Structure 1
Amino acid sequence: MQVKRFFAADMRQAMKLVRDELGADAAIIANRRVAGGVELTAALDYQMPSEPVRQPNAELEAELRKTQAKIASAHAELAVRAAGEVVKDRQLFANEPLVAPELPTSKVTARPQAPAQPAAVAAAAPAGDSRALDAMRHELNGLRELIEVQLGSFAWTQMQSQRPQQANLWRRLQRLGLPAEIARALLDKVGQVQEPRQAWRMVLAYLAHAIKTPAQEPLEEGGVIALVGPAGMGKTTTLAKMAARYVLKYGAQHVALVSMDSYRIGAQEQLKTLGRILNVSVTQVDPGSSLIQAVAPLAKKRVILIDTAGLPNNDPALRMQLEALASRGLKSKNYLVMAATSQSQVLKAAYHSYKRCGLVGCMLTKLDEAASLGEVLGLAISQRLPVAYLADGPRIPDDLHVPRSHQLVSRAVALQAPEEPSEDAMADMFAGLYNNSARRVG
């Protein structure tokens, strides 16, 4: 049997290393997480070559017999000592007088031994049990991940052989960058369609229908509008485009700007400059000040645009800012600003951080710099956030648009990845589907 350990960044790569080196007949006998990835121990059975007949060596056999005799003598002596220690321990715990045991061969001098500490042993037992449970938990997690990888690979292979049209649609949706859960929901709706082109058109139609847009443009609806989101998403630039768009259409007397960003260097100066250009009033809200009191003098304005600070999730100032925006007295409509250039995990983290203020929709920025729209559209669809505005350039206010769902889908198709996703990537996606399903069931 050949046994070998393999190290890789994840389970998928480790399994590939095993298959490449030991073949498909290799068996995984152990797995564990290590620093930087996972470790697999794989074994492969193979036919052992017949050993040549060896000639006996008299000197070697004599030396071997002597060694075995010495080992047996040492074992006997250890057994005698162990018997003496057991008798002595029994007498100590029973409060009996210590009597030297009669030994058949030689006397063993009794040595004083410290009494056992039951409390320490009892305290160490739970710690040992906890470590054992943690080790078992890590082992089970590794096995679950291994099973998910294998199931994902099997499911993808089975789909390619049994439902090639569905497999092709899966690939095309992955080129758009859509999350696997949304892709599966779309394909479930066209599972009975046989003609490939019709199925693809129906998938895109369902995708456009899933993208929600507000019934009325936010600026037309009016009220207090706050733009929230992490730093670098384009909040201030988008707010400037919205202000200029409103001024050009209705004039400067009915709009006001409010800045809550006192953390970024030059943020308030940027908004003041915009206010001077548009002839619009700008109000600054310092940390700790009441947002409601700052907005109260602007009650006669039809539109109040609030620019917020992009703060880390663990910053206490973020919690205070979100609580102020969620205040019932403010009646603010809060929109999450998401850059289309952001990764999926960044977008998800932003949503979970800012949803506490009560989001009514989102605004998509930096569409002109994006290589894919699937990630940002996937979050908007999965969290049911209406897309209020699109920003696709630096020009104010020309590069701010009211979205149309079918136009967004067409743009996403135009930006789809030119290359087909790899087989490993598709198998990983199916493994992720199994993982998410297991979590929902659990």
Structure 2
Amino acid sequence: MQVKRFFAADMRQAMKLVRDELGADAAIIGNRRVAGGIELTAALDYPLQPAEPVKPNAALEAELRKTQAIIATAQARLSLPEGLTAKKDCQLFGERLDDFKNDFTGADHVANRVAEPAPEVVGPAPVAPHAYESASQDARGLDIVRSELHGLRELLETQLGSMAWSNMQQRQPNQAFLWRRLQRMGLPATVAHDLLAKVAGIAESQQAWRMLLAHFAQAVDVVRDDPMDEGGVIALVGPAGVGKTTTLSKLAARHVLQHGSQSIAIVSMDSFRIGAQEQLKTLGRILNVPIIPVGADQSLTQALAPLAQKKVVLIDTAGLPAADPAFRLQLEALASRGLRSKNYLALAATSQAQVLKAAWHSYKQCRLAGCVITKADEASTLGEVLGLAIGQRLPIAYFTDGPRIPDDLHRLRAHQLVSRAVSLQLAEEPSEDTMAAMFASFYNDLSRKVG
């Protein structure tokens, strides 16, 4: 007998690992949630042991039967005749998931009710020796059932996503073709869905693709006037490692080449990294630009006061964890109305969509004026970062695609950004599993918003 453990982000991926490694005859002998996903224990040639008689639980059995009925109903309704639109598919998917979630919640409620201790009885009462052992076994059994229901929910979402994607390919092949191309660009499903809705009436696929790219360019917002030409206080914010200091160096170097070093100064709020201070000091010596550090006992307003005559003041901020108390103080200083700084969020094109979204959530409270896309030369796609800028309505001020100062700093128009995104799309078509998972995630998120 061969026994092996498998770790994956979700149940669908874990089951795929089991099938690939041990084949379709493998038996799942255990599963549990762990940090970061699911752990499955599978065995090949597993000797089945006769199950011990278990006392039936009528309430849980009823919930499981109801769940099976929901799956059957979802399968039947997703196989409706031709003519069902993508919007109706989405609504249907959301309704089925809502039904399942309600029943799943009901099962949890029943499980919790069964596991509740009996009311306290005043006065002595005889307690059977095996009562506590039985209650402990019941609690463990209910935990297993609850875990199985969570797994069943994941499998249901994956199955319905696969069905929705299959229906899309059969009924709207042109739309399916465009979905694949947008996935190759890394564009988030919500943004892709909105763009596809605008070309749904175009039958010819190439014409639809050209029109879709035109709508894509219209959705991308860019900062019309160069912030450096307008002058004032400009701050770059963002997590550690996204290229804030390097981008600031490019901005300063370009300004000095065009206007000289007398009208610019650099303020550093990053007193946490010695490397950042040294990099700016070296830059200051080369450009003959003053570098003003903000001391621990000094406010940002006090540090900026002697620089009132400078046309441009660039602020380099520290990339601190959101839980750090200094992070909140830094954002409050930048958001001060008396400061009137233009704060731009640095977004690394190499970051995943969830990392980009987390950065926006962390820094949006400092009144962002827009964003700067960095490290485009290291990215495999640009769809994720452009999707965030579109979804959160962040105008794009600058675009960097290399380490050279200041040559690799650009101000691109919307159609140029879209052209870059098309040129960087992945060479391989997304797999059927990838598309099914994307549909499952997208329709599930949409059903939450509708609900």
Deviation, 1:94, is 12
Task: Identify the residue that residue 344 of structure 2 maps to in structure 1.
Answer: 335
User: How far apart in 1 are the matches of 2:316 and 2:281?
Assistant: 12
Distance 1:428-1:346 versus aligned 2 partners, 3 A rule: same
The counterpart of 1:323, out of the listed 326, 332, 335, is: 332
Contact kept, 8 Å, 1:258 with 1:282, in 2: the verdict is yes
Structure 2 residue 37 is matched with structure 1 residue 34? no
Task: Identify the residue that residue 348 of structure 1 maps to in structure 2.
Answer: 357
For 1:219-265, what per-residue CA distance to the aligned partner results, in whole angstroms no more than 9, with x for missing partners?
A: 11211100011111111111111111112222222111100111112
Structure 2 residue 374 is matched with structure 1 residue 375? no
User: How far apart in 2 are the matches of 1:199 and 1:130?
Assistant: 57
Task: Identify the residue that residue 323 of structure 2 maps to in structure 1.
Answer: 314
The counterpart of 1:282, out of the listed 291, 304, 309, is: 291
Deviation, 1:38, is 5.6
Contact kept, 8 Å, 1:392 with 1:400, in 2: the verdict is yes
Structure 2 residue 397 is matched with structure 1 residue 388? yes
Distance 1:365-1:115 versus aligned 2 partners, 3 A rule: same
Secondary structure at the residue paired with 2:448? helix
TM-score normalised to the size of structure 2? 0.73
Secondary structure at the residue paired with 2:274? coil
Contact kept, 8 Å, 2:6 with 2:14, in 1: the verdict is yes
Distance 1:145-1:272 versus aligned 2 partners, 3 A rule: same
Task: Identify the residue that residue 157 of structure 2 maps to in structure 1.
Answer: 148
Deviation, 1:134, is 7.4
The counterpart of 1:163, out of the listed 160, 172, 188, is: 172
User: How far apart in 1 are the matches of 2:334 and 2:432?
Assistant: 46
Counterpart AA for 2:198: K
User: How far apart in 2 are the matches of 1:278 and 1:420?
Assistant: 47
Deviation, 1:116, is 4.6
Greater Rg, structure 1 or structure 2?
1
Contact kept, 8 Å, 2:267 with 2:291, in 1: the verdict is yes
Task: Identify the residue that residue 24 of structure 2 maps to in structure 1.
Answer: 21
Structure 1 residues not aligned, in runs of 5+: 42-92, 96-113
**1:15-414 alignment runs, 5 A limit:** 16=16, 21=24, 33-35=32-34, 37=38, 115-116=125-126, 138=147, 140-414=149-423
User: How far apart in 1 are the matches of 2:371 and 2:190?
Assistant: 21
Distance 1:218-1:176 versus aligned 2 partners, 3 A rule: same
User: How far apart in 1 are the matches of 2:25 and 2:165?
Assistant: 23
Provide the alpha-carbon RMSD of the alignment: 3.4
User: How far apart in 1 are the matches of 2:162 and 2:31?
Assistant: 21
Counterpart AA for 2:285: R
Counterpart AA for 2:335: A
Distance 1:258-1:8 versus aligned 2 partners, 3 A rule: closer
Secondary structure at the residue paired with 1:21? coil
Distance 1:38-1:186 versus aligned 2 partners, 3 A rule: farther
For 1:10-48, what per-residue CA distance to the aligned partner results, in whole angstroms no more than 9, with x for missing partners?
A: 22235555797279xx9x9x996433516599xxxxxxx
Deviation, 1:390, is 0.8
Counterpart AA for 2:276: A
Distance 1:205-1:194 versus aligned 2 partners, 3 A rule: same
User: How far apart in 1 are the matches of 2:141 and 2:333?
Assistant: 47
For 1:117-142, what per-residue CA distance to the aligned partner results, in whole angstroms no more than 9, with x for missing partners?
A: 8xxx9xxx9x9999999777655543
Secondary structure at the residue paired with 1:193? coil
Distance 1:158-1:243 versus aligned 2 partners, 3 A rule: same
Distance 1:293-1:136 versus aligned 2 partners, 3 A rule: farther
For 1:132-170, what per-residue CA distance to the aligned partner results, in whole angstroms no more than 9, with x for missing partners?
A: 997776555433322211110000111111111111111
Deviation, 1:389, is 0.4
Distance 1:166-1:142 versus aligned 2 partners, 3 A rule: same
Structure 2 residue 25 is matched with structure 1 residue 12? no
Contact kept, 8 Å, 2:346 with 2:372, in 1: the verdict is yes
Secondary structure at the residue paired with 1:266? helix
User: How far apart in 2 are the matches of 1:182 and 1:258?
Assistant: 37
User: How far apart in 2 are the matches of 1:263 and 1:336?
Assistant: 19
- How high is the sequence identity, in percent, across the aligned residues? 64
Structure 2 residues not aligned, in runs of 5+: 43-120
Query: Which stretch of structure 1 is more off in the superposition, 399-408 or 141-150?
Result: 141-150
User: How far apart in 1 are the matches of 2:143 and 2:433?
Assistant: 31
Distance 1:286-1:146 versus aligned 2 partners, 3 A rule: same
Counterpart AA for 1:11: M
TM-score normalised to the size of structure 1? 0.74
Secondary structure at the residue paired with 1:395? coil
Secondary structure at the residue paired with 1:244? helix
Deviation, 1:369, is 1.6
User: How far apart in 1 are the matches of 2:199 and 2:334?
Assistant: 42
Structure 2 residue 443 is matched with structure 1 residue 434? yes
User: How far apart in 1 are the matches of 2:152 and 2:297?
Assistant: 51
For 1:367-400, what per-residue CA distance to the aligned partner results, in whole angstroms no more than 9, with x for missing partners?
A: 1121111111111111111110011112211111
For 1:279-310, what per-residue CA distance to the aligned partner results, in whole angstroms no more than 9, with x for missing partners?
A: 22211102342001110111121111000111
Deviation, 1:401, is 0.8
Deviation, 1:336, is 0.6
Contact kept, 8 Å, 1:148 with 1:434, in 2: the verdict is no
